[in-house]
């Protein structure tokens, strides 16, 4: 009795059925291995959910150390290029770190005694005058619509600005009354949170010192802890992650400083009130894509509307020039192509990270996404290599240039 061609092919070495290829691809020899793996994963998730209270101390530990570690890491990537320059001119690493720390202390002292008091006075004046600016803006908008071509439709809406302002002021007064009562009842919690924040800030210099001293050794230490088979892949992931974090932090800080300087100079030229304060606000908020510029320009628009229509036109011109210079020259030159992320992806990341982690998520969402992208990109590369290994038909392989 002779076998058919298909039976002969199935018996040839290296030829396995579609189901067997899937099992081998997942690392097992039988389908039972796959089923047991799925059941084991489900059991681990169930047990973790039922005994999650055991991990509460670990959660508290990470929530305590995450802030100083993040701040120290940001400072590390900003100062590491300076330390490398000092080492190139043959200054020992320890002495280079001390030089950097002395320079930081001098810079912080300069900011505290010269820049901070000036910005504080401008901020206090803006806070005092902002309600008046806001009320005047609503009145100006109301007058504009009542005398414009849309006056007929606007009057049909029967909007009473004075009534809105009176109710709004009363609501704001009640809000502050309730807030004061809430603050009085939560003084203990506030002091506890403030103490934790201060302790976190105090620990940052110590963490930063050891990062500058031994940070270059961390990838090698992590690599030695892993099995030999995983070390090459881990080294590539760590290298790419280090490049992504470094490019984002250094580039974003430089871009933010450039935006702050351009906005301040532009507002000084058009004689806008509080130019340096609004420039500083633009600098700090520019670290958040899309949302940052919107937050920064809002108080400037209110002040411009109250000042004059011409000031609003000047503001629009300055802001357009700043965004064009940043988008066409500064960001491409500084950030390069290291973080090419689609705008829709950025919006989704910001919305998701903000919903999960609040303000911290909005600020750290993009660099966190960049790190995850590095890891998943490399994992997908390994997936394609493993797929080609277990797919006997060369015509169904991934192209080598795509791996």
Per-residue DSSP letters for 334-367? HHTTTT---HHHHHHHHHHHHHHHTHHHHHHHHH
pLDDT value, residue 335: 63
Residue showing tokens 């992590």: 222
Q: What is the pLDDT, as a whole number, of residue 269?
A: 92
**Whether pLDDT at 92 is above 60:** yes
Q: What is the mean pLDDT of residues 328-338?
A: 69
pLDDT score at 318: 92
Q: Give residue 168's pLDDT.
A: 56
pLDDT tens digit string along 115-128?
778 777 877 877 77
pLDDT score at 302 = 84
Query: Length of the chain, please?
Result: 403
What confidence score (pLDDT) does residue 165 get? 60
Give residue 10's pLDDT.
45
Mean pLDDT, rounded, for 327-338: 70
Q: Which one, of 25, 17, 13, lies nearest residue 382 by Cα?
A: 25
Distance CA 338, CA 365 (A): 16
Tokens matching residue 272: 């806008």
Is there a contact between 41 and 62 (Cβ–Cβ < 8 Å)?
no
Q: pLDDT-derived band of residue 27, with 50, 70 and 90 as boundaries?
A: low
Q: Mean pLDDT over residues 18-41, rounded?
A: 66
pLDDT of residue 22: 59
pLDDT at 1: 44
pLDDT value of residue 103: 92
Residue 338 has pLDDT above 70, yes or no: no
Residue 107 has pLDDT above 70, yes or no: yes
Stretch 66-88: mean pLDDT, rounded?
Answer: 88
User: Is the pLDDT confidence value at 372 over 80?
Assistant: yes
What's the pLDDT at 2?
44
Categorize the per-residue pLDDT at 273 as very low, low, confident or very high, splitting at 50, 70 and 90.
confident
Phi, psi of 27 (to 5 degrees): 100, 10
The dihedral formed by the CA atoms of 295, 298, 303 and 308, expressed in degrees to the nearest 10: 140
Of 244, 263, 258, 259, nearest to 336 by C-alpha is 244
Dump pLDDT digits (tens) for 167-212.
655 555 454 455 445 444 444 454 555 566 666 778 888 989 999 9
pLDDT of residue 98: 93
Q: Provide the pLDDT confidence category of residue 311 given band limits of 50, 70 and 90.
A: confident
- Mean pLDDT, rounded, of the chain: 77
Contact yes or no for 126/274 (Cβ under 8 A): yes
pLDDT band (50, 70, 90) for residue 149 = confident
Please enumerate in sequence order all residues whose Cβ is within 8 A of that of 183, keeping only pairs 6 or more positions apart, or say none: 190
């Amino acid at each position: 009795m002779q076998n058919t061609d298909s039976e002969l092919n199935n018996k040839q070495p290296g030829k396995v059925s579609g189901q067997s290829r899937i099992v081998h691809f997942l690392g097992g020899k039988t389908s039972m291995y796959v089923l047991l793996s799925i059941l084991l994963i489900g059991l681990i998730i169930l047990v973790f959910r039922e005994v999650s209270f055991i991990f509460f101390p670990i959660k508290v530990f990470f929530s305590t150390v995450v802030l100083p570690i993040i701040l120290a890491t940001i400072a590390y990537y900003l100062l590491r290029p300076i330390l490398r320059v000092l080492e190139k001119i043959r200054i020992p690493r320890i002495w280079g770190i001390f030089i950097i720390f002395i320079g930081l202390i001098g810079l912080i002292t300069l900011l505290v005694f010269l820049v901070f008091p000036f910005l504080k006075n401008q901020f206090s004046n803006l806070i005092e005058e902002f309600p008046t600016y806001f009320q005047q803006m609503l009145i100006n908008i109301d007058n504009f619509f009542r005398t414009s071509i849309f006056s007929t439709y606007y009057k049909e809406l029967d909007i009473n600005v004075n009534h809105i302002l009176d109710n709004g002021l009363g609501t704001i007064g009640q809000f502050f009354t309730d807030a004061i009562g809430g603050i009085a009842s939560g003084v203990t919690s506030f002091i506890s949170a403030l103490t934790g924040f201060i302790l976190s800030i105090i620990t940052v210099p110590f963490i930063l010192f050891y990062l500058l001293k031994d940070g270059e050794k961390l990838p090698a230490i992590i690599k030695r802890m892993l099995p030999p088979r995983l070390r090459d892949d881990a080294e590539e992931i760590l290298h790419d992650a280090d490049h992504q974090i470094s490019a984002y932090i250094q580039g974003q800080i430089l871009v933010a400083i450039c935006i702050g300087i351009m906005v301040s100079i532009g507002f000084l030229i058009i004689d806008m009130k509080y130019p340096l304060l609004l420039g500083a606000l633009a600098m700090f908020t520019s670290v958040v894509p899309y949302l940052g510029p919107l937050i920064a320009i809002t108080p400037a628009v209110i002040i411009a509307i109250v000042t004059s229509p011409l000031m609003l036109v000047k503001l629009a011109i300055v802001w357009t020039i700043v965004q064009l210079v940043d988008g066409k020259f500064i960001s491409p030159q500084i950030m390069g192509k290291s973080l090419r992320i689609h705008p829709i992806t950025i919006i989704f990341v910001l919305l998701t990270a903000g919903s999960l982690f609040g303000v911290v998520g909005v600020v750290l969402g993009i660099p966190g996404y960049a790190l995850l992208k590095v890891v998943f990109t490399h994992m997908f590369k390994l997936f394609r290599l493993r797929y080609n290994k277990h797919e006997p038909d060369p015509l169904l392989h991934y192209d080598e240039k795509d791996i």
